[in-house]
């Protein structure tokens, strides 16, 4: 019976403990523990900034050609217990990893497709459709501000116009008040979004953990942004592990940090190909 009391040779990806007083069981040897006991673990992976490097615009991200197959191999190794948990719309994420598909939570947890392929989606009300088109009209002459329509969510990106940050925040706060309590603001990296107020990456991880093949396994959640803190909290509470991509010292609920999306990819590749315990 595998256990995680010993480790297999998975290259050190540069994991640094994030807390002065780590949670019980927290370890810098995150990937070695999983390699030693793949039947005990489930992986929950953010996309932008975690699996793929951030880019200037949402559509400019590059998925390394071998990444879909690597994730598929890793999923097989974990008995299918690998889910993507993203702010992207579900269909957009599917296209990124085609032909591989995974259980996935999209729109920060508002959309969910489980292992059986069953999909739950929030309603897109006529009022939200109208709000999106008003937002698009308002910002059409704001140089460098990008409008991303994600169906039941909408994002305004200011990565190419950082001087517009306050304007974007203001217009999105107003939009949030106008649409009412069914949608809430989501801040992120050079972006402000309106997403269904029930959306939570933490709740999505909890839902997955209540279902096969995730049920009974310890979660490892990896993410890079504010929205991922909710899944770190759940992973910690469930006796699992949490990793935030970024420099050590950043305030986070994650137990440890890892330097870059490249380091995450390298560690996942090593995990996918590690000898079975």
Ligand X SMILES: O=P(O)(O)OC[C@H]1O[C@H](O[C@H]2O[C@H](CO)[C@@H](O)[C@H](O)[C@H]2O)[C@H](O)[C@@H](O)[C@@H]1O
- Is residue 110 within 8 A of residue 122, CB to CB? The reply is yes
Q: Does 245 bind ligand X (CB under 6 A)?
A: no
58 binds ligand X, rule: CB under 6 A: yes
Q: For residues 236 and 220, what is the distance between their CA atoms, to the nearest angstrom?
A: 9
What's the rounded Cα separation, in Å, for the pair 223 and 221? 7
Q: Which of 8, 32, 67, 88 binds ligand X (CB under 6 A)?
A: 88
Query: Minimum CB separation from Mg ion for residue 123, in Å?
Result: 25
Return the one option of ligand X, Mg ion, none that residue 121 interacts with (CB less than 5 to 8 A, by type).
none
| 151 lines the binding site for ligand X (CB under 6 A) | no
Q: Which does 189 bind (CB under 5 to 8 A by kind): ligand X, Mg ion, none?
A: ligand X
- The distance of Cα 242 from the centroid of its chain, to the nearest Å, equals 12
Q: Which of 90, 77, 11, 5 is nearest to 41 (CA)?
A: 77
Rounded least distance, CB 205 to ligand X, Å: 13
User: Where in the chain does DSSP place strands (E)?
Assistant: 15-17, 41-45, 82-85, 104-106, 111-113, 119-120, 146-149, 154-157, 183-188, 191-196, 218-223, 241-245, 256-258
CB-CB contact of 86 with 195 (8 Å): no
Q: Return the one option of Mg ion, ligand X, none that residue 269 interacts with (CB less than 5 to 8 A, by type).
A: none
How many residues touch ligand X under the rule CB under 6 A: the total is 25
Question: Does 48 contact ligand X by CB under 6 A?
Answer: yes
* 54 interacts with ligand X by CB under 6 A: yes
Catalytic site positions: 46
CB closest to ligand X, residue no: 87
How far apart, in whole angstroms, are the C-alpha atoms of residue 214 and residue 206?
10
Tell the smallest beta-carbon distance from residue 52 to ligand X (Å). Answer: 7
Q: Is 157 in the site for ligand X (CB under 6 A)?
A: yes
Q: From the list 189, 215, 216, 250, which residue makes contact with ligand X (rule: CB under 6 A)? A: 189
Q: Which positions touch Mg ion (CB under 5 A)?
A: 46, 48-49, 224-225
């Amino acid at each position: 019976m595998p256990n995680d009391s010993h480790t297999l040779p998975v290259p050190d990806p540069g994991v640094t403990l994030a807390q002065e007083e780590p949670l019980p069981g927290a370890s810098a040897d995150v990937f070695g523990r999983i390699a030693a006991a793949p039947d005990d673990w489930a992986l929950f992976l953010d996309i932008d900034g975690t699996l793929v490097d951030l880019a200037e615009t949402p559509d400019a991200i590059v998925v390394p050609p071998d990444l879909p197959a690597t994730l598929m191999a890793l999923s097989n190794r974990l008995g299918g217990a690998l889910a993507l948990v993203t702010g992207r719309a579900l269909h957009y994420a599917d296209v990124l990893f085609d032909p591989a598909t995974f259980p996935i939570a999209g729109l920060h947890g508002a959309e969910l497709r489980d292992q059986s392929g069953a999909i739950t989606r929030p309603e897109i009300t006529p009022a939200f459709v109208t709000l999106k088109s008003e937002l698009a009209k308002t910002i059409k002459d704001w140089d460098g501000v990008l409008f991303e329509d994600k169906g039941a969510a909408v994002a305004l990106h200011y990565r190419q116009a950082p001087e517009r940050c306050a304007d974007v925040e203001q217009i999105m706060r107003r939009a949030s008040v106008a649409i009412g309590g069914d949608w809430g603001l989501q801040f992120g990296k050079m972006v402000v979004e309106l997403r269904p107020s029930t959306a939570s990456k933490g709740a999505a991880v909890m839902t997955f953990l209540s279902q096969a093949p995730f049920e009974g396994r310890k979660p490892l959640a990896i993410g890079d942004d504010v929205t991922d803190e909710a899944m770190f909290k759940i992973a910690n509470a469930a006796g699992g592990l949490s990793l935030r991509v970024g420099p050590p010292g950043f305030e986070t609920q994650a137990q440890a940090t890892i330097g870059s999306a490249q380091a995450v990819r390298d560690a996942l590749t090593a995990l996918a190909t590690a000898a079975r315990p």
